[in-house]
Chains A and B, each alone.
Chain A
């Protein structure tokens, strides 16, 4: 009671305090996502501004995840910041949502000379400058002093030096399959990822760049399947002579690692490797634009005084030119130099849809599954497919008609039921029962039925959330006709369904099989330390599935995974697990079996205790061997318990997003994707086609509802026959 009171007071205090304690609101509110030194430097700059102008500046640090969503939610409602800091590549989204205003007075022409040209380019769109550039980020070349002492002029020089480092050292480590890291190669050959309208990584330049990288991979000049962590680990441990990475790598390297950072080299027979440049800008919101002080602050953030603090103390690669003469941090200077050579990342919304197809193409090329020309052409086709304009709005008549017919049928059915006197009697008799279940009904309605209806409704619309466009059943038709492709073509609904069904079958059979064997063994009273084994065997289930999935993904790594290490120990060639459907599928299945068997084991253990011991003894006396007793008595008696568990397990497996997404991630080339992960990609990796993804979800729901109807029907039928 008292505690509740205290709590209430506390809440009131928190709500009311700001209002009374601070009669004058701060003149400028700033949102940012900086941490650590960067944040401290920013605070120092803000204090300096306050001292200079007498304004008050409130800084609010937000987590980077969901930063954009928070801006989108807060600014249009007028409770957002006056100024916010953000990487420039989101500018397209900000413009589309009208979250920013031109920098205007905060960035007058006279300031132009202050900043690096590339940074200014980045924050300029349609001839208007939308922010003040603060700092830049791009990748550069890390050289391990142990192996490479003089900065190489060209990539080829680097490789020669790296190869000389000896066996077990990779000349160059970087995330080759990532389009972001591939961009320097692409730019060196004069190619482009995005041309302002659409996917542009096609044509001879792009092909030559991709071919060059494939060559590196074949020659083992770069590691296989490298992730960011792996690059870091290799460079730290001396397993790589050089690495392409951003400033974040320097922050993670232990002090004993000796290295230098230089801009990326040129490629023989092509130009300089120019990475993408990201620029952190200070943006004015519509609310801030009207404030004199907000504009002043934004301008001040870019000033020499501010830049000096941010560079010296915040270790930022500042966009302001003036300070670079005085900085004696070689790494920082190197990134600055690299930044001046970099290509500003296009900020358009359409740019974002290029990453996934580009990455898929790169993976294919690196594996040698396709020629650069074919893979890139396919990537472009995929991009165009994803970005296709929404279908013309069909007439709503068919849907309305359908709804009408359904409603009418429902009404007729209801009326007929109500007419039956027995029904009315039963209804009257069960009124108290309805009262008891009312809260459950409401809960289920709110938590289950409403989202389902909302999802279904979403599936009838295309376009963005703010501008939905009604498209009727078009999504369903597109899905069910495989978007005009052959029915079993790559990525079609039917092929994915086939994979999903196979995936479910294999998994459930393995779950039940292993669960039965282990459950039976563990139920034996003779076994010593049963309790310990039981706990151990339930562990895979108790660990969050994504942790397990990531661990397994690591174990299946081509070069560094435990699985291949074990295979190598018995003399088997290392397997590139995620480069073929069969092996990638196997890796997924292994992970999911590991995750899923404990559940079945626990079910079996429970069910076994309900089987009377003397029935099994009777079978033994009747002449059964252990196995016969198991097959003829135990198994049939387990069935009633096992059947619902199998149905449940099938549904879980059918929708086992975590494993598929995290282990194979659909590799190779989306072939191991199941329906849910495919739906996810439509929603979150393919230009936010929520409607299309929702249609997928509705179809999945329908399939599962149908399947569980059928299985429970089968169960009943069998039960009845007995």
Chain B
């Protein structure tokens, strides 16, 4: 089990959408399209934000974009929506070059972080707004509104103004406004960040369910690791204006391509220590900063070379109390214990001068281990990550 990420059933076999049992509504015909960005560059003034981004989201896929704050996630999303224009590169929707088209000719729907509901219109009119502009027939509009409001539980709220709704309800209206349009692609910009934790978990599941039902191509920006891990078909990690890594969420989590991705995903953050490779009894060890762990030779293959300097990464989740036969990789002088109930994290030093380190304790062990004691730790060879100290790239053979 990976820490911090709760298992979600929707992960991953792409069984195409059959309506879930509680809503016997007809499923709108999917109109999903492929979305591609090629070599997109964007600068605000002298400040380059995107330095050549390539994105490829197949029809009906759920792509999640993550990255540190200010790295240009929203900018990329707005480029796809047509709210910004790219300095260089192209954007294709369904194979059509839309780079120069205004938003209204792209047939995309966007859910804003602030929801951006029309404050002077009722929920019903908010939902109908885009359809009316496109000259949809009245009867069609009302069917679609009925459909969407049933899906999102908005039936009772249709005649209210946005200011008369709670945060969660507004969020639903924002989604409903996107859904009724039946766009070719959904764009979400941190749609859950204004909700409290419980509601966020609930809506998150709902969004995934909705996606499975509508099967629409989706580009979703988030800060939240859990959302990223649970929602994505493909996770795109953006850093420094470029795509740092893409792949299935678990792949990215388990095999980060760089030190940046490794530390960015996962909470608490991966422990990182500087050291070098040693060879003993025909096996390679990564040693330094008070740790000495066997490395997985299958994974790193040719990159292993005695004496090579490396950055050693072990997720706190994989660093546990050594019991019985398990090889001890480090001795932790415990400074404090964070008990979470089902498990605990021990913070401490490996050496008096070394960096701090975090290890996981079973709930039972958490009671016996006290601050000030020194405990032995172990880690499976597969959980040891090695990075080039200069470039930060993973040493794993790709």
Contacts and interface: CB of A to CB of B under 8 A. Distances in A.
Contacts of B117: 615, 618
Interface of B is mostly: loop
B120 A617 contact: no
Given A622-B181, A623-B134, A617 B118 contact: no
B133 A614 contact: no
B276 interface: no
Given A615-B117, A615-B119, A637-B120, A623 B112 contact: no
A619 B161 contact: no
A614 B114 contact: yes
A306 B165 CA distance: 91
Contact of B104 (A620, A637, A639): A620
A96 interface: no
A623 B177 CA distance: 12
B103 A620 contact: yes
A388 B104 CA distance: 72
Nearest to B121: A636
Q: Quick one: which of A619, A621, A623, A637 has the most chain B CB within 10 A? A: A621
Interface string A615-646: 10111111111001000110011010000000
Nearest to A615: B116
B103 to A, nearest CB: 5
A619 B129 contact: yes
B110 interface: yes
Nearest to A639: B120
A619 B109 contact: no
A197 interface: no
A628 B104 CA distance: 12
A486 interface: no
A636 B110 contact: no
A528 interface: no
Contacts of B118: 615, 618-619, 633
A618 B110 contact: yes
Interface in A285-329: none
A722 interface: yes
A622 B120 contact: no
Given A612-B114, A618-B112, A623 B104 contact: yes
Nearest to A637: B120
Nearest to B111: A618
B106 to A, nearest CB: 8
B7 interface: no
Interface residues of A, number: 19
Given A614-B112, A620-B83, A620-B102, A628 B161 contact: no
Given A612-B114, A617-B83, A619-B129, A625 B104 contact: yes
Contacts of A628: 133
Contacts of A621: 81-83, 103-104, 108-110
B129 A622 contact: yes
Interface string A597-626: 000000000000000101101111111110
A621 B82 CA distance: 8
A622 B130 contact: yes
B116 A612 contact: yes
A633 B116 CA distance: 12
Given A619-B129, A621-B103, A722 B110 contact: no
Interface in B78-112: 81-83, 102-104, 108-110, 112
A622 B161 contact: no
B116 A624 contact: no
A357 B2 CA distance: 100
A420 to B, nearest CB: 32
B74 to A, nearest CB: 11
Contacts of A625: 104
B120 A614 contact: no
Contacts of A617: 83, 103, 110, 112, 116
A624 B112 CA distance: 17
A576 to B, nearest CB: 49
A94 to B, nearest CB: 67
Interface in B369-384: none
Nearest to A618: B116
Interface string A707-722: 0000000000000001
Nearest to A635: B120
Nearest to B104: A623
A710 B104 CA distance: 41
Contacts of B181: 622
Interface string A232-251: 00000000000000000000
B124 to A, nearest CB: 13
Contacts of A612: 114, 116
B253 to A, nearest CB: 32
Contacts of B129: 619, 622, 632
A637 B117 CA distance: 12
Interface string B325-353: 00000000000000000000000000000
A722 B130 contact: no
Contact of B133 (A622, A637, A639): A622
A701 to B, nearest CB: 34
Contacts of B161: 722
Contacts of B82: 620-621
Interface in A19-47: none
Given A637-B119, A722-B120, A623 B130 contact: yes
Interface string B214-245: 00000000000000000000000000000000
A38 B363 CA distance: 110
Contacts of B104: 620-625
Nearest to B83: A617
A633 B118 CA distance: 7
Contacts of A619: 118, 129
B119 A624 contact: no
A619 B126 CA distance: 10
Contact of A636 (B83, B116, B120): B120
Contact of B116 (A614, A632, A637): A614
Contacts of A639: 120
A703 to B, nearest CB: 32
B117 to A, nearest CB: 7
B114 A624 contact: no
Interface in B123-145: 129-130, 133-134
A612 B109 CA distance: 18
Contacts of B119: 615, 637
A618 B191 CA distance: 14
A438 B310 CA distance: 79
Interface of B: 81-83, 102-104, 108-110, 112, 114, 116-120, 122, 129-130, 133-134, 161, 177, 181
6 A-B pairs closest in CB distance = A622-B130, A618-B116, A614-B116, A623-B104, A623-B133, A636-B120
Given A614-B112, A620-B102, A621-B103, 8 more contacts: A615-B118, A618-B118, A618-B177, A621-B108, A622-B129, A622-B177, A624-B133, A633-B120
25 contacts: A612-B114, A614-B116, A615-B117, A615-B119, A617-B83, A617-B116, A620-B83, A620-B102, A620-B103, A620-B104, A621-B81, A621-B82, A621-B83, A621-B103, A621-B104, A622-B104, A622-B129, A622-B133, A622-B177, A622-B181, A623-B134, A632-B129, A633-B120, A636-B120, A722-B161
